[in-house]
């Protein structure tokens, strides 16, 4: 293919793929299969790789992310990003409407729309092309998060044909669709990572992540609700929003009553009531409705107060609250031994779900609420997933209610609880034999970033523990077919998989085995450092605190924890047993001696896919030879080690900063 043919094909594919994105993410009407889409995307990626200079700046290949932003640029908004005045009262909406009638000329038409509960964004388009995306910040200045916003598939990178201004900004709300949010939390639970509290904060956090490919994988979405330009716009809010839909933006669906034009206060009230009742059926969260004057001329007439436009108001839904009876309080012990009191309630309907339990956080909160069994309590669903008890209805308290006494001993193992000074929670110190704590350790041991044992999950760990077959991680390696087959849900195939997974885990390198042991404060990176420094568990075991703090990046807290771990007999026994089962407790001699300092002082960025080595292998080779791995290209980067599929923007950046781009063979030659 010559350059001209490639240019034509790149343009054609970019247009076609953006068209399919629009069909799928904006209109929810895909016209080709995911497989066909991927084939086209791959073809475009190959062409952009071969002819990097021809890649369009807003190519659909950018949607998968990959650009890393270390620090987001601070940008002054062309139009200040104001907020809305809020009210929880319908009377105030009526008063607002009356006020407007007195100021504005002629009859007022309103547009009612949803108040999406997410993060505000302003996206600028120049000549129909995505130019930048800026967060609200302090209203005057925000952060440029364009690389991340580009991964949101319902946001067009190139507008469809239309009469849009040459330079304009469109504002909207980026949110986390509930299904994607739940799936993310499910995955985090499986991976032993703490769950996110609510979709709004998670959307906000995601938007500020440095790695745009992670943002792409999260599946954020966006509705647009306002147009700003120094050029002439349509003459009404409604007209602008409908036009934005034609240009390719995702706008609220009129058929689903997500947006409505109305003249009457009764219609406005009806819209509010409809959404107060139906909001839980939406696939995303809203926290109210917004009422706006439709006509731009009237909007100008009404103007602004210091903080918000007079022509718009938000009616916010009350965070839902119900009353029910507190039947009992039980106590949960987490993996770290932390105790959490849980209120067991008479089941009650709240925000569309039946609630039977609510969180009580800690003993101070129970005391503050002056809580007693049998009390009628207020339960609220705020931003968090788990509802909470907010107050007691004292008017309903009878004489018979029992004062609530906080437990003094662990409900799981009966050990006396401790409470460290300055901490709110009580802890069970018995980490050696308190069941949820040992189960927690084993769950960590098998998790993806630790031993990553195929065929073995959290539920199986529970089952094996309950049946008495395992008491610690080392016991896993003594399980036999005949132990496992009689267990419920353990078919022949699952037993085979699990045993094969355990066998395969004996090849897991020392640094991950060390991480799997669950030594307090020894996370992935510290485990790697210690493994490399000491080379074997024997050497690490006899290291003193003084030796340990000599190691780069190892502080006193870690040193103390490592020494304490090895001083305990139960831990030593587990390590001994794992060793005799054949797990790797040292770095093999060949690997240890491979190290040189050929690459000392050199910083590498690895990008793309390679023929002879995996990216992890290359990273290890760099480190073993004294070099450093970094994730984004800067003036400090010594080399970009590029394989197939290196992104065009990385290439551009390397060229701009004059950082040499080397191939896998160049790198091998360097080491030779
Ligand atoms: S219009 C002058 N419309 O609510 C402000 N805002 O305090 C014009 N929001 O963070 C904003 N849904 O991001 C408007 N349909 C909607 C909205 C909406 C959510 C957010 C907005 C801002 C806050 C306003």
- What CATH code is carried by the domain that includes residue 216? 3.30.470.30
**108 and 256 housed in the same domain:** yes
**449 and 551 housed in the same domain:** no
- Helices then strands, counting H and E runs in the chain, come out as 25, 22
Ligand 1 pocket test: which of 80, 113, 120, 285 has the largest number of ligand atoms within 8 Å of its C-beta?
Answer: 120
CA 121 to chain centre: 18
Centre of ligand 1 to C-alpha 83, Å, is 7
Q: What pLDDT is recorded for position 203?
A: 94
User: Confidence class of residue 531 from pLDDT cuts 50, 70 and 90?
Assistant: very high
Looking at 429, 462, 483, the residue that finishes a domain is 429
Give the C-alpha separation, 333 to 326, whole Å. Answer: 20
**pLDDT digits 0-9 by tens, 4-54:** 999 999 999 999 999 999 999 998 888 888 889 989 999 999 999 999 999
Asked whether 617 and 21 are in contact (CB, 8 A), the reply is no
Among protein residues, the one whose CA lies closest to atom 3 of ligand 1: 225
Looking at 463, 485, 507, the residue that finishes a domain is 507
| Residue located via tokens 């029910």 | 324
In a domain, 373, yes or no: yes
**311 and 333 housed in the same domain:** no
In a domain, 72, yes or no: no
Domain that holds residue 59: 3-64
DSSP 573: H
Give the C-alpha separation, 219 to 208, whole Å. Answer: 14
**307 and 182 housed in the same domain:** yes
In a domain, 221, yes or no: yes
Q: What pLDDT is recorded for position 285?
A: 92
Ligand 1 pocket test: which of 290, 296, 304, 316 has the largest number of ligand atoms within 8 Å of its C-beta?
Answer: 290
Ligand 1 near 115 CB (within 6 A) = yes
**pLDDT digits 0-9 by tens, 245-285:** 999 999 999 999 999 999 999 999 999 999 998 998 899 99
Q: How many CB atoms lie within 10 A of CB 487?
A: 15
Query: Ligand 1: which atom is nearest the Cα of residue 113?
Result: 15
Among protein residues, the one whose CA lies closest to atom 16 of ligand 1: 115
Give the C-alpha separation, 453 to 506, whole Å. Answer: 10
Average pLDDT over residues 62-86: 88
Spatial CA neighbour of 441 closest among 570, 544, 584: 570
Ligand 1 near 439 CB (within 6 A) = no
Among protein residues, the one whose CA lies closest to atom 23 of ligand 1: 83
Q: Give residue 595's region: left, alpha or beta (phi > 0; psi -120 to 50).
A: beta
Query: Ligand 1: which atom is nearest the Cα of residue 84?
Result: 7
Among protein residues, the one whose CA lies closest to atom 21 of ligand 1: 120
Break the chain down into helix, strand, coil percent, rounded to 5.
40, 20, 40
Beta strand extents in 493-611 (DSSP E only): 603-607
**133 and 259 housed in the same domain:** yes
Centre of ligand 1 to C-alpha 311, Å, is 13
φ, ψ at 604 (rounded to 5°): -110, 150
Among protein residues, the one whose CA lies closest to atom 9 of ligand 1: 115
Question: Is pLDDT at 574 greater than 70 in this prediction?
Answer: yes
Give the C-alpha separation, 609 to 617, whole Å. Answer: 12
In a domain, 117, yes or no: yes
**393 and 301 housed in the same domain:** no
**619 and 588 housed in the same domain:** no
Looking at 566, 592, 618, the residue that finishes a domain is 592
Centre of ligand 1 to C-alpha 105, Å, is 25
In a domain, 597, yes or no: no
Ligand 1 pocket test: which of 79, 81, 83 has the largest number of ligand atoms within 8 Å of its C-beta?
Answer: 83
**585 and 608 housed in the same domain:** no
φ, ψ at 314 (rounded to 5°): -110, 130
> What's the N-to-C CA distance of the chain in angstroms?
36
Give the C-alpha separation, 631 to 634, whole Å. Answer: 10
Centre of ligand 1 to C-alpha 290, Å, is 8
Higher pLDDT, 413 or 57: 413
Ligand 1 near 173 CB (within 6 A) = yes
Asked whether 391 and 378 are in contact (CB, 8 A), the reply is yes
Q: What pLDDT is recorded for position 589?
A: 75
Q: Give residue 326's region: left, alpha or beta (phi > 0; psi -120 to 50).
A: beta
Residues 184, 188, 189, 190, Cα dihedral to 10°: 100
Q: What pLDDT is recorded for position 257?
A: 95
Give the C-alpha separation, 96 to 99, whole Å. Answer: 5
CA 255 to chain centre: 32
Give the C-alpha separation, 155 to 135, whole Å. Answer: 15
Centre of ligand 1 to C-alpha 113, Å, is 10
Q: What pLDDT is recorded for position 400?
A: 62
- What CATH code is carried by the domain that includes residue 53? 1.10.287.610
Q: What pLDDT is recorded for position 594?
A: 59
User: Confidence class of residue 403 from pLDDT cuts 50, 70 and 90?
Assistant: confident
Q: What pLDDT is recorded for position 209?
A: 92
Centre of ligand 1 to C-alpha 51, Å, is 42
Token pair of 311, please? 């022509």
Percent of residues, the chain, with pLDDT higher than 70:
98
Among protein residues, the one whose CA lies closest to atom 5 of ligand 1: 83
User: Confidence class of residue 154 from pLDDT cuts 50, 70 and 90?
Assistant: very high
**235 and 298 housed in the same domain:** yes
Q: pTM of this prediction?
A: 0.61
Higher pLDDT, 259 or 632: 259
Q: What pLDDT is recorded for position 617?
A: 83
| Residue located via tokens 């030779």 | 672
Residues 377, 381, 387, 388, Cα dihedral to 10°: -50
Ligand 1 near 45 CB (within 6 A) = no
Centre of ligand 1 to C-alpha 299, Å, is 16
Ligand 1 pocket test: which of 80, 87, 115, 259 has the largest number of ligand atoms within 8 Å of its C-beta?
Answer: 115
Give the C-alpha separation, 123 to 145, whole Å. Answer: 10
**Count of all residues that appear for the chain in the document:** 672
In a domain, 520, yes or no: yes
In a domain, 569, yes or no: yes
Query: Ligand 1: which atom is nearest the Cα of residue 82?
Result: 2
Query: Could you list the active site residues?
Result: 115
**471 and 553 housed in the same domain:** no
Ligand 1 near 169 CB (within 6 A) = no
In a domain, 77, yes or no: no
Give the C-alpha separation, 512 to 451, whole Å. Answer: 7
**163 and 143 housed in the same domain:** yes
Ligand 1 near 113 CB (within 6 A) = yes
**pLDDT digits 0-9 by tens, 220-234:** 999 999 999 998 889
Centre of ligand 1 to C-alpha 258, Å, is 15
Total tally of structural domains belonging to the chain: 6
Ligand 1 near 225 CB (within 6 A) = yes
Q: What pLDDT is recorded for position 539?
A: 94
- 6: helix, strand or coil: helix
Q: What pLDDT is recorded for position 192?
A: 66
Give the C-alpha separation, 464 to 438, whole Å. Answer: 12
DSSP labels, 350-403: ETTEEEEEEE--SHHHHHHHT-EET-EEEEE--SSSS-EEEEE-GGG--TTPEE
- What CATH code is carried by the domain that includes residue 568? 1.10.150.20
- What CATH code is carried by the domain that includes residue 325? 2.40.50.140
Integer CA distances (angstroms), 310 to 86, 229, 304, 453, in order:
11, 20, 5, 60
Lowest mean pLDDT among 124-128, 460-464, 600-604: 600-604
Ligand 1 near 290 CB (within 6 A) = yes
Centre of ligand 1 to C-alpha 115, Å, is 6
Q: Give residue 156's region: left, alpha or beta (phi > 0; psi -120 to 50).
A: beta
> What average pLDDT is seen over the chain?
90
DSSP 23: I
348 bridge partner residues: 355
- What CATH code is carried by the domain that includes residue 616? 3.40.50.10190
Spatial CA neighbour of 294 closest among 244, 241, 245: 241
Give the C-alpha separation, 133 to 530, whole Å. Answer: 42
**301 and 323 housed in the same domain:** no
Give the C-alpha separation, 556 to 513, whole Å. Answer: 22
Q: At what angle do helices 664-671 and 615-624 cross, to 10 degrees?
A: 30
């Amino acid at each position: 293919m010559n350059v001209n043919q490639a240019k034509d094909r790149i343009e054609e594919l970019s247009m076609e793929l953006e068209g399919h994105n629009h069909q799928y993410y904006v209109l929810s009407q895909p016209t080709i299969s995911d497989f066909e889409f991927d084939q086209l995307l791959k073809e475009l990626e190959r062409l952009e790789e071969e002819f990097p200079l021809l890649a369009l700046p807003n190519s659909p290949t950018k949607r998968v992310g990959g650009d890393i932003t270390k620090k987001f640029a601070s940008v002054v908004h062309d139009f200040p990003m104001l907020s809305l005045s809020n009210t929880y009262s319908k009377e105030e909406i009526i008063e607002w409407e009356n006020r407007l009638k007195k100021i504005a000329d002629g009859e007022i038409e309103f547009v009612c729309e949803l108040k999406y509960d997410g993060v505000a964004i302003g996206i600028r388009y120049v000549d129909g092309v995505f130019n930048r995306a800026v967060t609200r910040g302090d209203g005057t200045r925000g952060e440029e998060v364009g690389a991340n916003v580009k991964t949101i598939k319902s946001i067009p990178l190139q507008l469809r044909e239309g009469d849009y201004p040459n330079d304009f900004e469109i504002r909207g709300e980026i949110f986390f669709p509930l299904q994607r949010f739940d799936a993310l939390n499910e995955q985090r639970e499986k991976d032993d990572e703490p769950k996110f509290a609510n979709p709004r904060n998670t959307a906000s956090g995601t938007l500020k992540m440095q790695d745009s490919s992670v943002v792409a994988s999260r599946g954020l979405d966006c509705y647009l609700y306002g147009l700003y330009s120094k050029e002439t716009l349509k003459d009404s809010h409604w007209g602008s929003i409908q036009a934005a839909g034609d240009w390719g933006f995702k706008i609220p669906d009129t058929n689903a009553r997500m947006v409505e034009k109305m003249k009457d206060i009764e219609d406005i009230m009806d819209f509010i009531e409809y959404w107060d009742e139906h909001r839980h059926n939406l696939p995303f969260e809203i926290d109210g409705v917004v009422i706006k004057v439709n006509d731009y001329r009237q909007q100008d007439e009404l103007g602004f107060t210091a903080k918000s436009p007079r022509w718009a108001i938000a009616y916010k839904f009350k965070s839902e609250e119900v009353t029910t009876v507190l039947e009992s309080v039980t106590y949960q012990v987490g993996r770290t031994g932390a105790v959490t009191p849980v209120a067991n309630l008479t089941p009650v309907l709240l925000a569309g779900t039946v609630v039977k339990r609510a969180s009580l956080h800690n003993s101070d909160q129970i005391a503050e609420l002056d809580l007693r069994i049998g009390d009628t309590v207020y339960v609220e669903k705020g931003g968090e997933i788990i509802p909470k008890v907010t107050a007691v209805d004292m008017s309903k308290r009878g004489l018979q209610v029992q004062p609530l006494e906080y437990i003094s001993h662990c409900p799981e193992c009966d050990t006396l609880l401790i409470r460290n000074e300055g901490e709110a929670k009580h802890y069970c110190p018995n980490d050696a034999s308190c069941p949820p704590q040992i189960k927690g350790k084993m769950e960590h041991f098998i998790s993806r970033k630790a031993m990553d044992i195929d065929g073995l999950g959290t539920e199986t760990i529970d089952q094996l523990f309950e049946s008495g077959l395992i008491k610690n991680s080392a016991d896993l390696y003594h399980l036999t077919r005949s132990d496992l087959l009689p267990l419920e849900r353990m078919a022949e195939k699952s037993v085979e998989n699990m045993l094969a997974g355990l066998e395969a885990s004996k090849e897991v390198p020392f640094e991950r085995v060390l991480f799997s042991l669950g030594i307090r404060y020894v996370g992935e990176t510290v485990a790697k450092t210690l493994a490399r420094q000491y080379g074997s568990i024997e050497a690490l075991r006899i290291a003193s605190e003084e030796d340990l703090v000599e190691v780069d990046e190892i502080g006193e807290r870690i040193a103390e924890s490592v020494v304490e771990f090895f001083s305990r007999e139960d831990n030593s026994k587990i390590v001994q047993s794992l060793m005799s089962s054949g797990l790797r407790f040292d770095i093999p001699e060949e690997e240890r001696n491979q190290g040189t300092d050929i690459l000392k002082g050199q910083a590498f960025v690895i990008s793309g896919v390679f023929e002879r080595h995996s990216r992890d292998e290359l990273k290890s080779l760099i480190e073993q030879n004294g070099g450093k791995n970094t994730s984004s290209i800067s003036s400090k980067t010594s080399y970009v080690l590029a394989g197939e599929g290196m992104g065009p923007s990385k290439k551009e950046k390397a060229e701009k900063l004059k950082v040499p781009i080397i191939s896998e063979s160049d790198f091998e030659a360097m080491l030779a």
